[in-house]
Each structure stands twice: as C-alpha cells, then as structure tokens.
Amino acid sequence: MHAGMVIIGAGECGGRAALTLRDLGYEGPVTLIGDEPHLPYERPPLSKEAMTGAAPAIKSITSDAVLAERSIRHIHSVRAVAIDRAERLVRLSDGSSLPYDKLLLATGSLPGKLPMPGLGERCVYLRTFNDALAIRAHLNPKNRVAIIGGGFIGLELAASSRKLGATVTVIEAQPRILMRGVPAEIAAVIHKAHEAEGVTILAGQSIEAIADDGKEVRISLTGGQQIVADLAVIGIGAVPVTGLAAEAGLAVDNGIAVDA
C-alpha cells in the first residue's frame, strides 16, 4: 500500500497544495498535518475582517466535506516533531508516526520575536485566528494599544484598532513606516491617512525598555518618551520555520533551500 503524499503544515499553502494534487489527477493518499484545530484558512484577513467584522470568522479555503469528497486526510491539533528520512516517517507530537512516499514541507513562518526582557501577557503577536480573537478582545474605546512595527501587519492592526475605537500608537524604529514595503512617496500618503484617522505614528524611535506588569505596558523610547498601553502588539517581521528541515539534514538558507 502506498503511503502517498504527506504535507506538513495545514495553512493556506499546504491546504491548496493538497487540493491541487487532486486537481492534477494525483490518486495516491494525501495527508495534511496541522497544529491548529481549524481547517486551512487565509491569514491576511486576521488583521482586518477578523478584527472588525460583526462576528469574527475564519476564512477557510475548504471544508470538511470537500476534504472527505477528495479523499484528503486532515490530521489537526498535532505537530510534526521530527522527520526520519531513512525510514520515510514523520513523527508527531502525540507519539504516533506517519509513513510517506513524498513529503511536502509547508511550514510557513512565525512572527519575529522582540529580543527584550520585560515582555508579559499583554505583549502579544498575531499569527493565528486564536491570536486575532485575543487581540480583538482588547480593541474598544476604553483601551490604549501600542503597535511595535510600522509594516503592513502593524498598520492594518492600527486601522482595525481605530475602527473599533481604541487609542493607537505605532512605534517604528526605521526613519519611516513601510521602509521595506513601499517607496517613500507612497509611505508618506499612508502615514497621513493613518494620522487623519487618529493614529499616532512615532517613526525613527527605538525602544529602550518594556515593562509589562500584567495591568498595563510601559514602553520607554530612547528619546525619553514613554508610551503606556493596555496592550502591545509586536509586528516586526517574520522568520521562516525551518527547524524540522534543519534537523532532517536539509539545506537551510533563510528558509528551506530548493533546486530550480
């Protein structure tokens, strides 16, 4: 019996890969492994619709019925913890193992961590739907939100936070927002649009210290200014998830290296 294709990572990439295998006529077993309880879903809406919609909802790319109809097995709420290339096995966090003929790594990325002491429960990151729900619970007119990072995620969260009435301050270490994303002229237009909606943007400001006492977060900037917030959301970029690949002996170069 063929072990077929095993896909580690049941996000949008892994989910669409599984569906595309069937579209292209692959008839062997297809198994998706994901550490979240949800069906594969789109992540971009997490900082927008999931924050501001009347009822937060996941934008799934498929359904249980479609997966069953297309004979795609979805193993959720478990992590792949090791790859045994010699035995062609994936070892899972529940102690079980899964054989494979072909293995696809669709492990994606995780938010870059702010390398500072003092971060507590009120210093959070956005990656999953559950993260979005936790952040949304703080977005109301009574609360102050500090967003560390003036990239796309940070600015989308700033807009969503203002839409729900929160007081918002964006802190960006670079001289301007969207430094890596867009030219200066476009960034200036976006900067003005956010300020017109009531967002305070502090660019060219480095963080000297953070103190999270569980009730509020105090962010001290190098210029002497202090920002006090009920929640700090950190959006300073993403790092590829390469641990499994590296431990399995694959080439890793700021991501999993592939051939042409």
DSSP string for 20-44: HHHHTT--S-EEEE-SSSSPSB-SG
Query: Dihedral, CA atoms, 139, 141, 143, 144, nearest 10 degrees?
Result: 90
Nearest to 51 by CA among 156, 175, 178: 156
Q: Would 5-108+241-247 and 111-238 be classified into the same CATH topology?
A: yes
Name the amino acid, one letter, at 218.
R
Q: Give kind and range of the element (H or E) at residue 12.
A: helix 12-23
Assigned architecture for domain 5-108+241-247: 3-Layer(bba) Sandwich (3.50)
Task: Kindly list the domain boundaries of the chain, sorted by start residue.
Answer: 5-108+241-247, 111-238
Angle between helices 152-163 and 184-196 (to 10 degrees): 20
Assigned architecture for domain 111-238: 3-Layer(bba) Sandwich (3.50)
Name the amino acid, one letter, at 70.
R
Cβ contacts of 189 within 8 Å, gap of 6 or more: none
- The three-class DSSP label of residue 132 is helix
Q: What is the pLDDT along the chain (260 residues), one digit of tens a residue?
A: 688 999 999 999 999 999 999 999 999 999 999 999 999 999 999 999 888 888 888 999 999 999 999 999 999 999 999 999 999 999 999 999 999 999 999 999 999 999 999 899 999 999 999 999 999 999 999 999 999 999 999 999 999 999 999 999 999 999 999 998 899 999 999 999 999 999 999 999 999 999 999 899 999 999 899 999 999 999 999 999 999 999 999 999 989 998 88
Cβ proximity of 222 and 208 under 8 Å: yes
Query: Dihedral, CA atoms, 165, 166, 167, 170, nearest 10 degrees?
Result: -120
